[in-house]
Amino acid sequence: MTDLTNLTVAQIRDGHRAGDFSAVEVAEAFNANVADAKALNAFIVETPEHAIEAAKAADADRAAGTLKPLSGVPIGMKDLFCTKGVQTTAASHMLEGFVPRYESTVSQKLWDAGAGMLGKLNLDQFAMGSSNETSYFGNVISPWRRKDGGNAALAPGGSSGGSSAAIAARLCPAATGTDTGGSIRQPAAFTGITGIKPTYGRCSRWGIVAFASSLDQAGPMARDVRDCAIMLENMAGFDPKDATSLDLPVPRWEDALSSDLKGKTVGIPKEYRLDGIDPDIDAMWDAGIAMLKDAGADVVEVSLPHTRYALPAYYIIAPAEASSNLARYDGVRYGLRDLPQGAGLQEMYAATRAEGFGAEVKRRIMIGTYVLSAGFYDAYYTQAQKVRTLIARDFEAAFASCDVILAPTAPSAAFGLGEKAADPLAMYLNDVFAVPASLAGLPAMSVPAALNREGLPLGLQIIGKAFDEQGVLNAGLAIEERAGFTARAEKWW
C-alpha cells in the first residue's frame, strides 16, 4: 500500500472520494508522522483526536453521499489562529495557556469544508521573525540539511516555520500560514514547498492574533500549486467581522488552473538584481524566466524604483501597528499576569509585559512606540506611509506593461539557526524581495524551483495584480511543471 503521507491534498481528497482508503487511515498515518517528529519541534500542541474525529465524519459523509471539499484531509493550523477549546499562543509566553472560546473565521471555514486538525504549528513569536528562532516554545528545525555531510540545524524560515517544516517533512499535506512581510513565502522557499499570500482582504483576519493589521493576511502552504488553490478556496471569503474583508465572490481557482501562458506578459523587475547576490539565486531566476517563456509568455523588464525603500518603510509601519495591537496584553483580560509584591496597576502592566514578551517582540514594540511618539510621528510614520504609497504606485505602473512579476522569493537559501540571530538588521534583510508585495497588498506566491550547490531548495516568487490570484497560480503552475522539483529532505529525525 502506498504511504498515505506522500499524497497531496488533491490526491487524498480524490482517493478518499473514490474509496481507495478511509479518512481514518489517512489521519492515523499523519498522526503517526507527527508523533515521530518531535525533533523538528514543528508543533506546539498536537491534536490527533481532532484529526480522527474529522476523519470519522468524512468517512460517514462518504457513506451518506454528503462529501465536502476537504473531506478526509487533515491539515496543520498555525498557532496564530484562534481555535475554540485548543490552546492558542502565537508562540508567546504571554498567551501560554490561552484557550479561545471562539474559532477564527479561516479555521472555521476549513473545518466546515471537512478538514481535520493535526495540531497547532510553531511560529516566530507573534509572527515576528524570519527564522522561527523567536518562539517561546523553542526553534523549529528544518528537515533539510546541507549536503556537506554535516548536520548543522537549519532555519525553516519564518514566521510560518512550523507550517513549512511540517509540510516538507510529510507531517501534514497542507497548513495555514500568515504573511505580514513574507511569512508564508520565505519559509516555503526555505523548505522546498509552495505557499501563496492572497490579495489583502481575501481571507478574514477575525480570530488571527494581530501583528500588523494593514499587512496581515492568511494563506495556504502545501506541496504544490493545485493544493494551494484548493486550500485557498476554502479559506477565503467575505466576513462582516473583519472591517477590511473583501466583499467579493471566491473564484474557483482550482478549476481555472492553466499553465498555458500564451498572451501573458511577465515582468522582470530590474531593481531586484542585487549586487553581490548568491549566483545560484540569479541562475534560478534566469531559469524561471526561460520556463515562463517556454509556457508561452512574453517577458519584459519592468522597473520598481522604490524597491530599496520597502524594507525600511516596513520596519516603521509594521512595528508601529504592532505596538498598538500588542497594547492589549495588559495582564488583565487574558494571558499572563505578573504581579510583583505590592505592585500597583502600572507596575503590573510593565512587569507582565517584560515577562510575557520575548526580545524581538519588545524590540518591535519599542521601535513602534518611538516612531509613533509625539514629535517623531511625521518624520517616521507619515513618511513611511507616503513611501508605501509610492511602492504601490510602482507596482501599478509596472502592471501597465505586464500581467505578473517574477523574482526570487528570498536572497538566500535557508541559513543555519543562530547565524543571524545576533543581528536584527541582517535578519530583516532576508525579506527584501517579499516585503514590497506585502506593502502593496498584492497576491504573491513562492514555488520551489531549484536546489543550490549545498543541496538546499530555492524558491521563485510570482507577484500578481490585486485580485488576480489566478494569474499568480497559473504562472506558478507553469514553473512547477517545468522545474520538476521532486527533491525532499532525507529523514533524520
Partner 1 sequence: MAIDQATVRKIASLARIAISDAEAAAMEGELNGILGWVEQLGEVDVSGVEPMTAVIPNTLRLRDDVVDADPLTGGNRRDDVLANAPAAQHGFFGVPKVIE
Active site (catalytic) residues: 78, 159, 183
CB of 344 to partner 1, least distance (A): 6
Are the C-beta atoms of residues 88 and 64 closer than 8 Å to each other?
no
Q: What are phi and psi of 416, to 5 degrees?
A: -75, 145
Looking at beta carbons only, is 337 or 488 nearer to partner 1?
A: 337
Sign of the alpha-carbon torsion through 177, 181, 187, 188? positive
Looking at beta carbons only, is 136 or 485 nearer to partner 1?
A: 136
Task: Report d(CA 249, CA 251) in Å as an integer.
Answer: 6
Task: Report d(CA 300, CA 284) in Å as an integer.
Answer: 17
Looking at beta carbons only, is 95 or 117 nearer to partner 1?
A: 95
Helix (H) or strand (E) holding 195: strand 194-197
Determine, following the binding rule CB under 8 A, whether residue 440 of this chain makes contact with partner 1.
Answer: yes
Judged by CB under 8 A, which of 8, 265, 303, 369 binds partner 1?
A: 369
Task: Report d(CA 81, CA 368) in Å as an integer.
Answer: 24
Determine, following the binding rule CB under 8 A, whether residue 309 of this chain makes contact with partner 1.
Answer: yes
Task: Report d(CA 200, CA 285) in Å as an integer.
Answer: 26
- The single-letter code of the amino acid at 350 is A
Judged by CB under 8 A, which of 243, 256, 290, 397 binds partner 1?
A: 243
Comparing CA positions, the residue from 88, 89, 143, 83 lying closest to residue 116 is 83
Looking at beta carbons only, is 152 or 366 nearer to partner 1?
A: 366
Q: Which three cell numbers stand for residue 461?
A: 516568487
Looking at beta carbons only, is 416 or 424 nearer to partner 1?
A: 424
Judged by CB under 8 A, which of 146, 257, 271, 370 binds partner 1?
A: 370
Task: Quote the distance between the C-alpha of residue 214 and its chain's center.
Answer: 16
Q: Which residues 11-50 are close enough to bind partner 1 by CB under 8 A?
A: none
Looking at beta carbons only, is 285 or 329 nearer to partner 1?
A: 329
Task: Report d(CA 100, CA 335) in Å as an integer.
Answer: 11
Are the C-beta atoms of residues 98 and 294 closer than 8 Å to each other?
no
Determine, following the binding rule CB under 8 A, whether residue 250 of this chain makes contact with partner 1.
Answer: no
Judged by CB under 8 A, which of 30, 349, 415, 433 binds partner 1?
A: 349
Which residues, 6 or more positions from 50, have their beta carbon under 8 angstroms from its beta carbon? 86, 116, 117, 118
Determine, following the binding rule CB under 8 A, whether residue 306 of this chain makes contact with partner 1.
Answer: yes
Looking at beta carbons only, is 2 or 382 nearer to partner 1?
A: 382
Q: Which residues 188-227 are close enough to bind partner 1 by CB under 8 A?
A: 199-201, 214-215
Q: Which three cell numbers stand for residue 433?
A: 524581495
Q: What are phi and psi of 187, to 5 degrees?
A: -65, -35
Binding segment (CB under 8 A) for partner 1, from list 112-120, 121-129, 349-357, 472-480: 349-357
Binding segment (CB under 8 A) for partner 1, from list 251-259, 261-269, 362-370, 398-406: 362-370
Binding segment (CB under 8 A) for partner 1, from list 1-9, 148-156, 262-270, 306-314: 306-314
Q: Which residues 92-111 are close enough to bind partner 1 by CB under 8 A?
A: 98-102
User: Given the C-alpha cell 484557550, which residue does it identify?
Assistant: 99
Determine, following the binding rule CB under 8 A, whether residue 483 of this chain makes contact with partner 1.
Answer: no
CB of 355 to partner 1, least distance (A): 8
Determine, following the binding rule CB under 8 A, whether residue 8 of this chain makes contact with partner 1.
Answer: no
CB of 335 to partner 1, least distance (A): 7
Judged by CB under 8 A, which of 8, 22, 383, 470 binds partner 1?
A: 383
Looking at beta carbons only, is 102 or 492 nearer to partner 1?
A: 102
Judged by CB under 8 A, which of 117, 235, 313, 475 binds partner 1?
A: 313
Determine, following the binding rule CB under 8 A, whether residue 316 of this chain makes contact with partner 1.
Answer: yes
Determine, following the binding rule CB under 8 A, whether residue 351 of this chain makes contact with partner 1.
Answer: yes
Q: Note the residue count of the chain.
A: 493
Comparing CA positions, the residue from 181, 94, 83 lying closest to residue 355 is 94
Task: Report d(CA 204, CA 181) in Å as an integer.
Answer: 17
Helix (H) or strand (E) holding 67: none
Pairing of strands 74-78, 116-121: parallel
CB of 86 to partner 1, least distance (A): 13
Are the C-beta atoms of residues 145 and 492 closer than 8 Å to each other?
yes
CB of 397 to partner 1, least distance (A): 14
The DSSP letter of residue 271 is G
Determine, following the binding rule CB under 8 A, whether residue 386 of this chain makes contact with partner 1.
Answer: yes
Comparing CA positions, the residue from 352, 307, 309 lying closest to residue 327 is 352
Q: Which residues 325-344 are close enough to bind partner 1 by CB under 8 A?
A: 327, 330-337, 339, 343-344
Determine, following the binding rule CB under 8 A, whether residue 265 of this chain makes contact with partner 1.
Answer: no
Determine, following the binding rule CB under 8 A, whether residue 420 of this chain makes contact with partner 1.
Answer: no
CB of 329 to partner 1, least distance (A): 9
Are the C-beta atoms of residues 119 and 43 closer than 8 Å to each other?
yes
Determine, following the binding rule CB under 8 A, whether residue 411 of this chain makes contact with partner 1.
Answer: no
CB of 365 to partner 1, least distance (A): 5
Helix (H) or strand (E) holding 143: none
